[in-house]
Structure 1
Amino acid sequence: MPTIPDTAKEVRLAKHLEGELGLDNFGLVQMQTPEPGTGEVLVRTEYLGLSVAYLEMMRADSHLPIPPWEVGQRIGGGAVGTVVRSDSADLAVGDLVRTMAGWCEYSAGSADQYPKLDPELFPSPVHYLSQGPTAYYGMADIARVGTGDVVFVSGAAGGVGSLAGQIARCRGAAKVIGSAGSQAKIDYLVNELGFDAAFNYHDGPVLDHLRELAPEGITVFFDNVGGEQFEAAVAAAASGARFALCGALATQIGDHENRLPEPDRTAATAKKIEVMPFSTYHTPDQVAAWTEHFSTWLGENRFVFPRTIVDGGITAAPRALVSLLRGAYKGNVSVKVAD
């Protein structure tokens, strides 16, 4: 094991988010490396996961059912790490663990705060940072996707959407359509992830694309974006369609007010569309269900895990999150924290 330094860095919220996210929303702090107490462990963060869901936690007027982060509070989020000191019978030095300690190089706590992970289950620890629990729960349990469904995934090249489309395919969907913001991402969805079709949402009205690619009507919509894409999905939906609402990126970037979608309520009612928002916070059972399917599908070569790893340590995390929101990456995004 590498030498444990006396001090370690963490990233905190410098000011609440208003408008677009910038580097001035973050502050880097040098702290004493925490000392584990009796029965506790010290964990070195290896990889840190990034998500657009952090935006709402950074707003003072967050609409989430949990309190937003306070100014001066460490940025939260999931990570994987390695136990480097242990006074616990449950975890040994060298064990790979999951941590929710957030954006920090080291953290300490009781063993039950650090679920042990199997290092042999996936090709890389980064696989444990996938947003698959969100994608699987929304697609399988909320939208109930199955044989014969015609599926539309908005924001399909992102960390959730890129998995949601593949989950639909693995569960027997007849057609999977994705939207993305560049030709490179469209090619990626079709040629590498197995989407049946994809379109650039900058290239003309979304509804025109949906009517061309799914003239029979979409039966499942997995929404990561909101805005025009949500409105178009209502217009293009088949009777009895199921809408799983995961996120609303169009309403999260820029001005926070008055950006919610305005669908045709008459059409939604007439078509008997089920509109089902769902939480991205999951139970251990939901995480376990995804992990089992993920490892199986990977082993059967039916699934691709699209991912981007950003080097540069903990100090690279703020810029990486800003870049993520600007569409710079494909798939799941994580930051390599440890050298």
Structure 2
Amino acid sequence: MSTGTVSTQIHLASRPTGWPTAENFRTVRVDLPNLAPGQVRVENSHISVDPYMRGRMNDVRSYVPPFAVGEVMTGGAVGEVVASAAEELPVGTTVLHQQGWRDVAQGDASDFTAVQPVPGVPASAFLGVLGMTGLTAWVGLTTIASFRPGDTVFVSGAAGAVGSVVGQIARLLGAKRVIGSAGSAEKVRLLTERYGFDAAFNYKDAPVREQLPAHAPDGVDVYFDNVGGDHLEAALDVMNDDGRAALCGAISQYNATGAAPGPDNLGNLVTRRLTLRGFIVGHHLDHATEYRERMGAWLRDGAVATDETVIEGIDHAVDGFLAMMRGENVGKMLIRTR
């Protein structure tokens, strides 16, 4: 049996109104008990901070229960088993789990999933391009939006962890044109020079509704929405007949303190026979094996470029989360915990 150890954890101290602040969180150090039979202890190497976590800080109905005040925040993490009382997960196994926002996790072996590292690819990729982030891009594009070769694709928030993968998958699957929006000139350059987008624009330069038509002269067949609000409204203006939109997120509204105005052009759904469908990737895990095989091959061949923004130390997890919400990350935002 292993002896106890200390886990540094980030707890939700209070529910934010509008933008979260450091005061909404508390760092807590917890003494872990000895392992019970069937349990493992994991030292996390990286934890994930993601936009959906902002929604879980509110005490409202959603697809997952809200975070509880006074308890540790949770989310994706990857790490290594350092002590084990479970034969199926021996010491040294790389595992994925949902006990994020802490440097050491402990629990039943069933709470952890062993993963086989991909040669030349860091384990952190299992939180990004090889994990739920990448699977979100794949499912949204291929299953929810029913992508077809020759489609023109528009991706909002395209320089983020999900959006950058969506655009590259669309290109590899035969898109006619891939367009992305981002929030800085540097990110716009990344979209076209690194991720292979055909066109990109800075949504801060002018209203999206004014910029998008110039980049989509033949309209848009598939819209992958990470932003909502003005981006969704602009996409509805330019979508072609029988266009499909996969609604993944609405980060423009996550910190709003009042009701956001809706698009004024919803009539296009009828006249152009459009389909808008929201989705939660956790309901589509049956696609994970196929996706990892496809993406693993693309990564080995150098066909997909990935980026991570890494913040050092569990004590800076809140800094990383708030920076991600402000759009300061390129690719996947991660916290390195060891």
Query: Retained in 1: the 8 A contact 2:243–2:273?
Result: yes
What is the alpha-carbon root mean square deviation over aligned residues? Answer: 1.6
Q: 3-state DSSP class of the match of 1:166?
A: helix
The percent identity for this pair of structures is: 34
Q: 3-state DSSP class of the match of 2:153?
A: strand
Aligned to 1:316: 316
**Displacement after TM superposition at 1:94 (Å):** 0.8
Q: How far apart in 1 are the matches of 2:7 and 2:225?
A: 39
Aligned to 2:155: 153
Query: Retained in 2: the 8 A contact 1:34–1:106?
Result: no
Choose the corresponding residue for 2:252, options 250, 261, 266.
250
Aligned to 1:83: 81
Q: 3-state DSSP class of the match of 2:197?
A: coil
Letter aligned with residue 240 of structure 2? A
Correspondence list, 1:188-199, <5 A = 188-199=190-201
Q: TM-score scaled by structure 2?
A: 0.95
Query: Retained in 2: the 8 A contact 1:134–1:282?
Result: no
Letter aligned with residue 135 of structure 1? A
Aligned to 1:289: 290
Aligned to 1:331: 331
Aligned to 2:20: 21
Q: 3-state DSSP class of the match of 2:273?
A: coil
Instruction: Indicate whether 1:94 and 2:92 are aligned.
Output: yes
Choose the corresponding residue for 1:124, options 122, 125, 141.
122
Letter aligned with residue 154 of structure 1? S
Q: How far apart in 2 are the matches of 1:4 and 1:294?
A: 40
Q: How far apart in 1 are the matches of 2:218 and 2:5?
A: 63
Q: 3-state DSSP class of the match of 2:333?
A: strand
**Displacement after TM superposition at 1:264 (Å):** 0.9
Q: How far apart in 1 are the matches of 2:225 and 2:118?
A: 33
Q: How many residues align?
A: 333
Q: How far apart in 1 are the matches of 2:78 and 2:193?
A: 30
Runs of 4+ in 1 over 6 A off after TM superposition: none
- Structure 1's 263 and 173: CA in aligned 2 closer, same or farther, altered over 3 A? farther
Unaligned ranges ≥5, structure 2: none
**Displacement after TM superposition at 1:213 (Å):** 1.1
- Structure 1's 283 and 210: CA in aligned 2 closer, same or farther, altered over 3 A? closer
Q: How far apart in 2 are the matches of 1:282 and 1:335?
A: 26
Aligned to 1:36: 35
Aligned to 2:220: 218
46-55 or 285-294, larger mean C-alpha shift: 285-294
Unaligned ranges ≥5, structure 1: none
Q: How far apart in 2 are the matches of 1:40 and 1:73?
A: 21
Letter aligned with residue 327 of structure 1? G
Query: Retained in 2: the 8 A contact 1:218–1:237?
Result: yes
Instruction: Report Cα offsets for 1:8-32 as digits up to 9, x if no partner.
Output: 2101111112111111111110110
Q: How far apart in 2 are the matches of 1:277 and 1:248?
A: 11
**Displacement after TM superposition at 1:122 (Å):** 5.4
Query: Retained in 2: the 8 A contact 1:230–1:263?
Result: no
Instruction: Indicate whether 1:136 and 2:138 are aligned.
Output: yes
Aligned to 1:300: 301
**Displacement after TM superposition at 1:65 (Å):** 2.6
Choose the corresponding residue for 2:66, options 65, 68, 82.
68
Q: How far apart in 1 are the matches of 2:255 and 2:308?
A: 22
**Displacement after TM superposition at 1:327 (Å):** 1.3
